[in-house]
């Protein structure tokens, strides 16, 4: 059961990592205006 949770959290963490990375990459211009 712990193995399933480990893979699940690992997948979520990996997805969140890419979402944040893409958000920062595409949001640099917007963040500078603030």
Query: What is the DSSP code string of 1-34?
Result: -HHHHHHHHHHHHHHHHHHHHHHHHHSHHHHHH-
**In this predicted model, which residue has the larger pLDDT, 2 or 17?**
17
Give me the phi and psi of 31, to 5 degrees please.
Answer: -70, -30
Tokens representing residue 32 in the block: 């500078």
Q: Is the whole-model pTM more than 0.75?
A: no
Q: What is the mean pLDDT of residues 4-20?
A: 95
Q: What's the pLDDT at 6?
A: 93
Q: How confident is the model at residue 31 (pLDDT cuts 50, 70, 90)?
A: low
- C-alpha triplet 14, 24, 16: angle, nearest 5°: 20
């Amino acid at each position: 059961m712990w193995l399933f949770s480990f893979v699940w959290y690992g997948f979520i963490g990996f997805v969140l990592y890419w979402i944040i990375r893409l958000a920062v990459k595409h949001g640099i211009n917007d963040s500078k205006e603030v």
